[in-house]
Amino acid sequence: QNPKTYAIVKQLLAEGNAGELQKYFGSRMEFGTAGLRAAMGAGISHMNDLTIIQTTQGFCRYLEKNFTDLKKRGVVIGFDARAHLSSGGSSKRFARLAANSFISQGVPVYLFSDIIPTPFVPYTVTHLKLCAGIMVTASHNPKQDNGYKVYWENGAQIISPHDKGISQAIEENQEPWPQAWDDKLIDSSPLLHDPYAMVNKEYFKDIQKQCFYRNINKETNLKFVHTSVHGVGHKFVQLAFKAFDLSPPFAVPEQKDPDPDFPTVKYPNPEEGKGVLTLSFALAEKDGARIILANDPDADRLAVAEKQESGEWKVFSGNELGALLGWWIFTCWKNNSRDTRAIKDVYMLSSTVSSKILRAIALKEGFHFEETLTGFKWMGNRAKQLMDQGKAVLFAFEEAIGYMCCPAVLDKDGVSAAVITAEMASFLATRNLSLSQQLKAVYDEYGFHITKASYFICHDPKVIQQLFDNLRNFDGKNTYPKSCGRFKVSGIRDLTTGYDSSQPDQKAILPTSKSSQMITFTFANGGVATMRTSGTEPKIKYYSELCAPPGNSDVEQLKKELDELVNALEKHFFQPEKNKLQRKTE
């Protein structure tokens, strides 16, 4: 019943354009553990009013099956600022249609009345003890995309088997319910609640538990620039600074207000580095700021850059900021913990493709470190399990600039990470230290961890399958490579098949998944490299790291060694020429 998508389909029919119609209606978007992510437009392969109604009807039926008290507890729904003129789709409209589906079945809905950062949804699930949460966002994807991200009652993103259960329920509930299209009905419903004011108060109260140096914050001369890259982050980072008694950061004027066209950037993704930060650098130079904080459009990730003595800007990698935040959060905990015995109940987590720096800090300091599969859904769920056993999970991170610094949000949160980074930088400034100098101090104390990650693009699933099959049958059937160029392989873990050469029974401890490819090689020189396929893009990614014991300070030699290892990995294991792989263009 959306006139715009209806007109698009009628036009294609009139033109007899079978190819485009096949693209729109050939296959339904797949609902996975990350929910939905696709372009907005007509047809069942896109995000539009109808597919949102169908998805929510399925999700509602699945929740009814799992919770007897769904009609008492309810769900929360949030949205970002994305919109798509030609198909009439927008995050706000999709959120209202989703709310309407639940309310029509007697389920209370806490629908935010305005745009919010993604972490506010898992926060609300936990804070109000709701059954589930939905965030309508495509995070840092291109502007035509949107997404539908789902949280379970534990406040973490869903993991299997919920994705399959919800997917099945969507298939069974495709015909829109009688008043599915009429979202105006929700405005007069007693089941509709707006958590906006309450969460804006409570969230900022909760993150203040991570504020340890209020007096330094009040007096610091350090200046910060913040960009929300045309997304939702501006207002909330300003409020977070206020909550920590820090002067507000300078906001990049061209990027501070939400704009679904993302006009000043090619990709609205701060992970892409300097290209996204051009306007931030200019403002920082003008206002004399030394540190830049950049959120992605839904404010769940954070990139940080710092001006060096040379006048150059250094953009920290996700692993480097993970090292700094891990060191800082542990140090604050140690200085404020009354009970030294409690260290045996302290945990930090990171994903298996992220730097092992937290492992090195944990070994030396005596707390626990665990790695999980890639993605915050795993870290959030594991953190909740540990917290339910009375453990303290201080910090979790992944190399894709995602940080969980606050136990009140069991997902990555770019708002709390931004203000905690600002407090850390302000504290270090009182010791005449920059973030870069402190990072070196962390590596000096716990051992250098040099990382290098990249990807190849490959649109042919058969080539990808063949590449990984080749690695599993390298010197004859069921044999993995014993070396990679001059580098000797000392261990192999294959999370597609469940094989791990380092375990007594040769079975991997982490969960395995036959539907995605992932092999980790450990090398005799202390290097580790993981090759994996991406769940959302046509990429084969690799992550490599060289860890040196404390005291080995020849960083240039370590970097050279890692560069050579990566070159060997590309040449012998990826074979880009033979497999016609397209390199990441910097």
3-state secondary structure 483-539: EECCEEEEEEEECCCCEECCCCCCECCCCCCCCCCEEEEEECCCEEEEEEECCCCCE
User: What mean pLDDT is predicted for residues 16-20?
Assistant: 95
Q: Would residue 13 count as lying in a domain? A: yes
Asked whether residue 15 falls in the same domain as residue 141, the answer is yes
Least confident of 248-262, 334-348, 408-422, 557-571: 334-348
Q: Tell me the residue range of the domain where 171 lies.
A: 3-193
Asked whether residue 10 falls in the same domain as residue 23, the answer is yes
Q: What are phi and psi of 297, to 5 degrees?
A: -60, -25
Q: Which contacts qualify for 210-216: CB closer than 8 Å, 24 or more apart?
A: 210/329, 210/332, 210/405, 210/406, 210/416, 210/420, 211/243, 211/244, 211/245, 211/419, 211/423, 212/332, 212/335, 212/336, 212/423, 213/423, 213/426, 213/427, 214/244, 214/245, 216/423, 216/426, 216/427, 216/430
Q: Would residue 67 count as lying in a domain? A: yes
Q: Would residue 329 count as lying in a domain? A: no
Asked whether residue 171 falls in the same domain as residue 217, the answer is no
Q: Would residue 137 count as lying in a domain? A: yes
Asked whether residue 186 falls in the same domain as residue 240, the answer is no
Asked whether residue 435 falls in the same domain as residue 511, the answer is no
Last residue of a domain, one of 318, 344, 367: 318
Pairing of strands 539-547, 449-457: antiparallel
Task: Say which CATH number the domain at 540 has.
Answer: 3.30.310.50
Beta strands in 321-469 (DSSP E): 346-351, 368-372, 392-398, 402-404, 449-457
Asked whether residue 440 falls in the same domain as residue 476, the answer is no
Q: What is the pLDDT of residues 38-56, one digit of tens each?
A: 999 999 999 999 999 999 9
Asked whether residue 536 falls in the same domain as residue 434, the answer is no
Q: Would residue 485 count as lying in a domain? A: yes
Last residue of a domain, one of 142, 171, 193: 193
Q: Would residue 198 count as lying in a domain? A: no
Q: What is the pLDDT of residues 199-218, one digit of tens each?
A: 999 999 999 999 999 999 99
Last residue of a domain, one of 193, 228, 262: 193
pTM assigned to the model? 0.95
Selecting among 87, 101, 139, 354, the annotated active-site residue is 139
Question: Is 534 among the residues known to form the active site?
Answer: no
- Mean per-residue pLDDT over the chain, rounded: 95
Judged against a pLDDT cut of 70, whether residue 340 lies above it is answered with no
Asked whether residue 436 falls in the same domain as residue 566, the answer is no
The total domain count for the chain is 4
Helix-strand-coil split of the chain, %, nearest 5? 40, 20, 35
Judged against a pLDDT cut of 80, whether residue 449 lies above it is answered with yes
Q: Would residue 324 count as lying in a domain? A: no
Q: Would residue 114 count as lying in a domain? A: yes
Asked whether residue 176 falls in the same domain as residue 207, the answer is no
Pairing of strands 402-404, 392-398: antiparallel
* pLDDT reported for residue 372: 96
Asked whether residue 454 falls in the same domain as residue 572, the answer is yes
Task: Say which CATH number the domain at 260 has.
Answer: 3.40.120.10
Query: Helices in 135-210 by DSSP H: which ranges?
Result: 162-172, 196-207
User: What mean pLDDT is predicted for residues 13-20?
Assistant: 96
The CA-based dihedral angle spanning residues 126, 130, 136, 138, taken in that order and rounded to the nearest 10 degrees:
40
Q: What is the pLDDT of residues 485-504, one digit of tens each?
A: 999 999 999 999 999 999 99
Q: What is the pLDDT of residues 514-543, one digit of tens each?
A: 888 999 999 999 899 999 998 767 899 999
The CA-based dihedral angle spanning residues 546, 550, 554, 560, taken in that order and rounded to the nearest 10 degrees:
0
Asked whether residue 28 falls in the same domain as residue 150, the answer is yes
Judged against a pLDDT cut of 60, whether residue 586 lies above it is answered with no
Which helix (H) or strand (E) segment is 285 a member of?
A: helix 278-287
Q: What is the pLDDT of residues 546-576, one digit of tens each?
A: 988 887 768 889 999 999 999 999 999 999 9
Asked whether residue 506 falls in the same domain as residue 469, the answer is yes
Residue 74's SS3 state is: coil
User: Can you say whether residue 146 is alpha, beta or left, with left for phi > 0 and alpha for psi between -120 and 50 degrees?
Assistant: beta
Angle, vertex CA 177, rays to CA 167 and CA 45, nearest 5: 45
